[in-house]
Chains A and B, each alone.
With several copies, the nearest count.
Chain A
């Protein structure tokens, strides 16, 4: 009885969510068919769907999607690991803060699009180079969130840890990072998106196979429906990965709203 009720509300929520998205798509449809925006740049949803299906049937788009997906995912894993580790290091050690934080703050605002040519010159045109740029570009949300979470441990919890004489490492692992967990998870959600975006930019600039290159070529050859098919795929990818992340988040943050 209770279970059916729960399933019903879940279905209700899902369909509501779909309806909202449907409303946005309807808006898109109106904008494109009414000619507010030139069709060459904003294709109709139907045309986009058609390009999408054609591309997927040809197998090409599927391969691109897979390439971008793996790049995004490995970049994201790297970025999260790097962000948490560096964040924990800087957030908990004054010395680390003095030595490396300013350098990081300097690198942070450098656009991937501007750094990439430099990286290509130094390291060549390879998937590894792009991955490094992705990991580097996507780690900031996680890093900042980790820093914030570590800095904002409530005074009393700090004192608990001191009175238990927790080692520095234990404090970071058992109090600092769990305390930062909600922030880190939000950061990781962002990081996932940034990772996808930088992957795409990387594919565009460093000429690696993937959705980024497909989008770039479509944009360049004014194939708006193909461009949007790529964007739709990106949206779907981002959505799918975020659903997984949201589920993980729900179980990890169970304590927040029990």
Chain B
């Protein structure tokens, strides 16, 4: 399994004395796009945090490229759900993005061009000089995404990254993300509440369940999405397979 980028090896997690995730077994391959869905509070964020090395599983282990994860790495970017708190309030938009470049010791001369580029990608070129407190919620979220893109990671762990974005901005960023995965072999784990988004972006979708028991483990379903690549906002979403999968997922989620 040389192309396994992330491997969840019977990962179980306890928080505050409660079992949040019962053993999860999952392998994510290079260039794969895995979407995670599930009810509020079921442990999606927790799963991603384990993949990033922020929490240590109480059982099992997470491996990246075969080696057990001991802590966060710069090759793994994390887009936090709570975007407001993930930015440095004392740095402007561009300086916030710059942080990722500084961390990677990118020479100062190269930074402006790279910053400008990612800011254009997320549509914030006009707001480079603003402080986070001067931005709308969706703009803050995009700054965070820009920082993660600037990091040029191998793996992106994205926790509801497009949650605060309007439909149009969201679609633009979805397509941009899909392009990066295709062209640069980026591996993505992507938490979302939007079933259509999960199906549109994912090669696979995993559904988690709240309050797992040995009989009903965390991993409620693991669905392959055999839709053709590259996908397209209009045709893909009208594809019969898309509609079928959407209905299927809808039922998994308790309807």
Contacts and interface: CB of A to CB of B under 8 A. Distances in A.
The answer on A and B forming one complex is: yes
B63 interface: no
A interface: dominant SS: helix
B103 A178 contact: no
Interface stretch (B25-33, B86-94, B235-243): B86-94
B80 interface: yes
A156 interface: yes
User: How many of chain B's residues touch chain A, expressed as a range?
Assistant: 20 to 34
Nearest to A165: B74
Contact of B72 (A155, A159, A178, A181): A159
Interface in A156-174: 156-157, 159-160, 162-166, 170, 174
A132 to B, nearest CB: 33
A157 B86 contact: yes
A255 B103 contact: no
B77 interface: yes
Contacts of B80: 156, 159-160
B52 interface: yes
B49 to A, nearest CB: 8
Interface string A165-193: 11000100011001101000000000000
A59 interface: no
Interface string A244-258: 000000000111111
A154 interface: yes
B99 interface: yes
Contact of B78 (A159, A253, A257): A159
A160 B133 CA distance: 17
Contacts of B133: 155, 255-258
A166 B134 contact: no
Given A165-B103, A174-B99, A255-B90, A154 B74 contact: no
B158 interface: no
Given A159-B80, A255-B133, A164 B85 contact: no
B68 to A, nearest CB: 17
B250 interface: no
Given A163-B78, A165-B74, A174 B102 contact: yes
B151 interface: yes
A170 B74 CA distance: 14
Nearest to A254: B131
A160 B132 CA distance: 16
Given A162-B71, A164-B99, A165-B72, A156 B86 contact: yes
B78 A175 contact: no
- With a 10 A CB-CB cut-off, give which of A160, A162, A179, A256 has the most chain B CB atoms: A160
